Structures are given as structure tokens and as C-alpha cells.
Structure 1
Amino acid sequence: MSYQVAVIGAGPSGSIAAYILAEKGYKTVLLERKKFPRKKTCAGGLTYKVEGLLKSIGIEMSELPIERVFERVKVMGYGKEIEVEMDPWVISTTSRSLFDKSLVDIAVSSGVNFLDGSPVTEVRRKDGIFELLAGSKLEAERLVIAEGAVPLISRKLGIRNFWPKGEVIFALEAERKGDFKDIEFRMDAVEMGYGWVFPRNGKASVGVGGMSNPAEIRRRFQEMFGSDGISAGMIPIVGNRRLEAERVYLIGDIAGLADPMTGEGIYYGMKSAVEAARALTEGKSYEDLMKPIIEDLSLRRRVASIVLPKMRRFFLLMVDKEEIAERFTWASAGKISFRDFIKWVVFRFPSLVPSLLRALL
């Protein structure tokens, strides 16, 4: 079977890319190695900016299996606690297995051919097309690779290698039953990271993640949440790397687009899908279209390099100056840009300028 585009990986970024391409009239196949619905290690949190992105491509949040919506978050640690609110909301929570399945269904309704349980075991270029082996043989003029954090197909094509040290967040996650009330971020859970509680209906996703030693993250997770039902994942963060090759586009986790401050990846994966589809359909440079996102994430990484090693100090500063916590939440949720947040801090608290300048250089 021949296609104009093959999208490899049916997470949010892959499904969004396939959906847009099918809407534009491209004959598209979406390949997924696991049978759907499948379990996915993820906290299942969607920030406010996801809603605007989805709406811009014709998808309403009401079409998706959102379980709870929160207008405030609770941030705690080192014996202190602060609550931050944002109008209309900050974070919504969902089951990733159901969320991903709903996006696949939307893509299929737009004409995408979805093949789950079809791992791509071989891919090669031949006579200007790609030949793929995914149970059966397929051909495609272009590839959109959304294979997740582990470079399999992208490595076969010589575009991506294994992630260098310092560019991956390691995370452990599990579900716990109970009547959980608040979104919680626990800033003293582990060095160079944090713990979380994301309530859903009758349960919560709990986890610990960061750039600390994985053994230490596991130890702290077990202390905080027990040892049952733990799943592990890694989250690649922004780095200086290629996002495209000839007729190949990398999106989502394999593009390394997570926020190094928070670990958020769903929004950035979806945004990369939108820009890759735009590059493909409009004949533009995908990397050029992604420059604003890469610049924003790179700024966050420079700030994270200062904040994460000194989390206690910065968290206590946010408790003391609640405006900073509020504006940081706005920047994380997409109400304001991260650069505008930095500018505001510089103007409002000039004593912090030396540290912030080091982040901006």
C-alpha cells in the first residue's frame, strides 16, 4: 500500500499530525506498535495552553475525555505551602490511554488509516520513497516520526542517537485510588526534580521525576507513595539537535521538546505536530517554524540550570513573594510567555537580576 505520508507513533503528536494531514487531503497512514488503547506512563496533566492549540486546528476540549479541571494548584515543600490560582483554569487531568485513543478516533474520522499493533521493524529509502515493514510492506513519500523517547526508527535513519547525559528527565508514575482533592507539586521530593499528585475521578496519578540519580528517584517514590504498580519513563528535554532530514520530520518526545522546568511534553508535542504538518503542506522549513518554540524552551533550560540545583532557595522565595509563584504558573500554563515572566521579575524584583542575567547569557 502506498501513502503520501506515514506517521509513526500514535501518541498525541502523531495523531494530531495525521489528523491535520488528512484534513488537508493527504493520504496518510498512522502506525502504532502497540494495540490500542494502551497504557502510557504519564501524569495525564494538560495545561491551559493545550485548549487554544486544539481549538486552532478544529478540536474542542469537550470532545476529549477530560476528567477534572483545576483553577488552582498547591505547591509545597520544606515545611511550606502555597496555592496559586489562574482564570479560567490551570491544569486539567485525563487518562492518557483514553485521551490518546480519542485523538486517534478523531484522526480516523478525518480519513487516516490507523494500523495499531504494527511496529515498524525496517525502513529504508529507495527511488525517492520510503519502504517500511510493519507486518506488511508499506510505501510513503514522507515520514513523520513520533515514536516517543526511544530512538528506534530515527536512529535507523541516522537522524537521532541516544540522548546525552543531562538531556533526559527520569520519572516514575503510578495510580492510587482515593478521593484526592488538589493538584499538588512537591518540590522537596527529590533533588533536581519534584513529586506530583494529579487527581482524576476516584484516583490520582502520583509520581516523582527529575534529573537526579534514578535510584534516588525510585527510593523517594517508594517512601512517598509505596511500591505498587510503578511504571517508568524518560522525558527528553530541549537540546541542540536536528528536527528534520530530507522528507522526514521528528515530532513529540523524539524531537526532545519537553519543558526542562516542569517536564511538560504534551503541549510541545502537539505544537511540533502542527508545525511539521504546516511545513509539509506549505513547503516550508520545519526547523524555521519551530525556532520560537526552541528559543522559549532553551530559555527555560538556562533558567532551570540555576533553579533546579537550588530548589529550596527558589521555592522559599516563591512562598515569600507569591507574585512570582503566580506569574510562573501563568507562564507554565501559557497565559504569558516565559520571556515576559523573566522581564517582569527583573522589573519587579531587581535584586534578583544577577541570577537571572546568568540564565539569559
Structure 2
Amino acid sequence: MNYEADIAIIGAGPAGSTAAYLLSKVGLKVILIDKCFFPRDKLCGGLVSAKALRLLEKIFDETEESLNQKQIINFSSNKFEFVCKKKSLAKCYTKVPTHFVERTVYDKFLLDKALDSGTKIIYGEEVKKVDLDSNILITSQGNKINSKYIIGADGANSILRKEFEGIGSIDKESWLKNLGFAFETYIAKDKLSFETDTMYLYFGYMKTGYAWVFPNKDKLVVGIGGLLKELNNKDFKTIFNSFLISLGLDKKTVDDYIKDIRGHPIPFGNFIENPVYKNTILIGDAAGLVNPVTGEGIYYAQRSAEIAVDVILKNYNNPGNLVEDYTKNLNLHLMPELLKTRKRRNMYFRIFNNYYLGKIVTFFMFRKVKYV
């Protein structure tokens, strides 16, 4: 089947659905293509930062209160703890809570916003071929989508990014240099003996990365992630196994959880310098726009979607300025923070991987925060 659209968007995660919503809202014909059927789960800690909440209110007019009422926010916690191996660095209580979502619910919520605004979607089909010159997509079922613009919001394994690599627009070696990997699983709250309403960050398990235990309403999200070049998958699993045992789980329970472990590459400081070519734009994880220390991606996915939409609308009838405008706006609004964080990354992990250094630094970091 042939489809015609003003904008074709690959990937219906937070980045793709946000872009689709904003573009459909102004009357453009938008088609989303996603290899999954929704709702679907996604490897992600599910942390929604304060700036992500502000962005949700700005774009969707959804406040913290409305997100709680609609049960989009799964859990909120005012407590967090930094740990080096088994030793606590800081255990604090904050006035402003940290919020967590289940990606199954959150992504479906955003997709429904896009669909309600007029977006059409093709479910369960992968994009197999992209013609960057004619803006034509071919799916795994042989469907052909012809559009004026293409947005790649299809994550760390983006097919559109690989097309950019094919024409030499992106340095593949540079991408792999800062590619991360994460393992994650769900653990029932009653399996652990410590407080399960607290956000925990664990250091000392790997050189450039950390482990986490994030609270949810009825379970815990437990994972580990860091730079892939420093380890191979086998080493990662071994470290994750050790981490789970350190939480107080017995070996049999850990073996059961390891069977259901989920792993996925994540951008970890490999931002693409020019994630735009002719009438095609990369956003979110596909463009490497993820915090290179924390791994936070939701905010950057939705903010880069907003930026891309603004640039497309501004240059809709004059796409010759797209490359310059998108790059300029990323450099203005997102890249300074991300580049500064990447520059300091090694320093951060050297500090928190050392108990005594970490203890001193967290004391000064959180001196205005209530200790518990």
C-alpha cells in the first residue's frame, strides 16, 4: 500500500509521539511507523525529571496533579540514597519529589495524544529502507510512505541514523566510542529487606556507569548501565549478578531474575554533531541526545522533538535552511549542558566510585538537603 504524508516519523516513543502531536495539531498530515503494537514495555528506569514535567505542561498542558489523577505517574518519592558498593554516601529527603512512570503507560499516553490530534499510525512494521533523497520509506510489509520530511525517533538502533552513516554524514566510530549498554529487571518489593520507597544509585561496580533501584507502586526497577567499550556483555551480566546478590537476594532468586533480564544499547555521550540531512532529522536517542552521566533520556527526547518541530514549521516551504537551523537550535538549547556533562563524566565517576571522596563530595552537594 502507498501512503502520502507531510511528515513521516519512525518510532512512536516519547520523541516520536511528541513530534507527531505538535505537527498534527497545526494541521499537517503525519504518519507514525512503529515496529511494536501498543501498549508495549521499554527498558527504562522511568524517571521523569522536574524539567521533563515542566515540558509536559508546556506542550500537553498536563500538570503534576493531572498526571497523578490519570495515573500516568506511577510513584513519587522524596527520598534518595547514594551508595558506593554497600556503604552509604548520602541518604537524603528532598522537598521536591522525584517521579517515576511505567513506560508501558507513559508511551501509550503520549501516543494517544498524537492520535487524538490527527496522527495516523502503522503498527507492527519495521522500516527496512529509507531513500534520503526522495523521502520515501519502505516497511517490512512492503508499504511505501512518501513524505516531505522524515523524522527518525527510533532509538539507539535507529535505521535512519544508519542511513546517515552510509552516506558519511555520521562517524560510526565516534558513535560506538560513547555507546552505552544497560541491563534491567523487575523485582517484587517483598524480595528486599531495605526501604522500597527510596531511589538508590549505586557506584563502584563499573568504571563509567552505575546501578540503580527505582521504586514503583508494586515493584522495583533494578538495573545497571555504563559504557559498552569498557566491558563485554558477559562481563556486564556478571557484574549485574553480583549487584543483585549484594542487595540481599539469594543465588537461586538471582538466577531466576537473570533469565528475564532485558538488555539494550543506550546513547551515553555519543551526541551526533549534525543529526540532520536534507529533509530528514534525528531526534532523541536516535541522535544520541541522552545525559552522558545519568542516562536520562525522556526529557531530551521530548525537548529535541519540540525543537525539530519548530524548525520544520519555520522552514516548511524552504527546507534548504533545515540543516543550519536545527543544528543551531540544538547547540543553543541542549548541547551546552550535554557537552559540559560529558566533559566532567570521568571526574564524577572517579569521585563516586571512591567511598571517601564520594562521602566528602556528597556532603557538600547535599548540605542544603535534609539528611535522614
Q: TM-score, normalised by structure 1?
A: 0.84
Query: Residue 17 of structure 2 contacts residue 110 of structure 2 at CA under 8 Å; is this kept in 1?
Result: yes
Asked if 1:282 corresponds to 2:314, the answer is: yes
Query: Contact 1:151–1:161 at 8 Å: present in 2 too?
Result: no
Please tell me the residue identity of whatever aligns with 1:18.
Answer: A
Answer yes or no: is the 8 Å Cα contact 1:184–1:197 preserved in 2: yes
SS at match of 2:313: helix
Q: 1:71 aligns with which of 72, 78, 85?
A: 78
Residue in 2 that maps onto 1:172:
183
Q: Which residue of 1 aligns with 2:114?
A: 107
Paired residues for 1:166-245 under 5 Å: 166-179=177-190, 180-211=196-227, 212-214=230-232, 215-225=234-244, 226=254, 227-238=258-269, 239=271, 241-245=273-277
Per-residue CA deviation, residues 74-95 of structure 1 (Å, 9 max, x unaligned), is 1111423312343322x21121
Which of the residues 98, 101, 104 maps onto 1:94? 101
Q: Specify the alignment match of 1:25 in structure 2.
A: 27
Report the alpha carbon displacement of residue 12 of structure 1 after superposing the two structures with TM: 0.6
- Quote the sequence identity (%): 26
CA distance, structure 2, for counterparts of residue 195 and residue 256 of structure 1: 21
CA contact (8 A) 2:160 2:282 kept: no
Q: Tell me the CA shift for residue 163 of structure 1.
A: 5.6
Structure 2 residue matching 1:149: 3-state secondary structure: coil
- C-alpha distance after superposition, 1:264-294 (max 9, x if no partner): 1111111110100111012261111111311
Residue 130 (1) aligns with residue 138 (2): no
Instruction: Assess, with a 3 A threshold, how the Cα gap between structure 1 residues 82 and 105 changes in structure 2: closer, same or farther.
Output: same
Once residues 235 and 65 of structure 1 are traced to their aligned partners in structure 2, the CA distance between those partners, rounded to angstroms, is 24
Once residues 154 and 322 of structure 1 are traced to their aligned partners in structure 2, the CA distance between those partners, rounded to angstroms, is: 38
Amino acid at match of 2:259: D
CA distance in 2, matches of 1:51, 1:298: 23
Partners of 1:289 and 1:185 in 2: CA distance:
32
Contact 2:84 2:352 in 1 (8 A): no
Q: For the structure 1 residues 177 and 161, does the alpha-carbon distance in structure 2 shift closer, same or farther, using more than 3 Å as the test?
A: farther
Q: Is the CA contact (8 Å cut-off) linking 1:243 and 1:250 kept in structure 2?
A: yes
CA distance in 2 between counterparts of 1:202 and 1:36 reads: 22
Task: Report the CA distance shift for 1:204/1:110 in structure 2 as closer, same or farther (over 3 A).
Answer: same
4+ residue runs over 6 A deviation: none
Q: Classify 1:327/1:121 alpha carbon distance in 2 versus 1 (closer, same or farther; 3 Å).
A: farther
Change (3 A) 1:24 1:64: farther
Structure 1 unmatched ranges of 5 or more: 330-361
The alpha-carbon deviation at position 51 of structure 1 amounts to 0.5
Alignment-derived partner of residue 41 in structure 2: 39
- Cα 1:236/1:321, change in 2 over 3 Å: closer
Q: Is contact 1:4–1:140 with CA below 8 Å preserved after alignment?
A: yes
Distance in 2 between residues matched to 1:55 and 1:264, nearest whole Å: 19
Aligned residues: 325
Match of 2:293 in 1: 261
Tell whether the 8 Å contact from 2:79 to 2:197 is kept in structure 1 after alignment. Answer: no
Does the CA contact (< 8 Å) of 1:257 and 1:269 recur in 2?
Answer: yes
- Bigger CA drift: 316-325 or 95-104? 316-325
Q: Distance in 1 between matches of 2:368 and 2:96?
A: 16
Report deviation, 1:298.
0.4
SS of the equivalent of 2:35 reads coil
SS at match of 2:135: strand
Question: Which amino acid is 2:92 matched to?
Answer: V
Instruction: Give the C-alpha shift of residue 110 in structure 1.
Output: 0.6
Q: What one-letter code is carried by the residue in structure 1 that aligns with 2:180?
A: I
Paired position in structure 2 for 1:53: 55
- Counterpart contact for 1:5–1:143, Cα < 8 Å: yes
SS in 2 for 1:280: helix
Output the amino acid matched with 1:182: T
3-state SS of 1:33 partner: coil
SS of the residue 1:18 aligns to? helix
CA contact (8 A) 1:85 1:326 kept: no
Report the AA paired with residue 257 of structure 1.
Answer: L
- Which whole-Å CA distance do the structure 1 matches of 2:110 and 2:243 have between them? 33
Question: Once the 2 structures are TM-superposed, how far is the Cα of residue 322 of structure 1 from its aligned partner?
Answer: 4.1
> How many Å apart are 1:224 and its aligned residue?
2.3
How far residue 321 of structure 1 moved from its aligned partner, in angstroms, is 4.6
**Aligned-residue RMSD, C-alpha:** 2.2
Q: Report the Cα offset of residue 203 of structure 1.
A: 0.5
Question: How far apart, CA to CA, are the structure 2 residues paired with 1:64 and 1:8?
Answer: 27
The corresponding residue for 1:9 is 11
- Equivalent position amino acid for 1:104 in 2: L
- Most deviating of 155-164 and 73-82: 155-164
Provide the secondary structure at the position in 2 that maps to 1:5: strand
Find the residue that maps to 1:92 and give its secondary structure. Answer: strand
Q: 1:166 to 1:131 in 2, by over 3 A?
A: closer
Distance 1:254 1:301 in 2: 18
> The residue matched to 1:71 in structure 2 has which SS?
strand
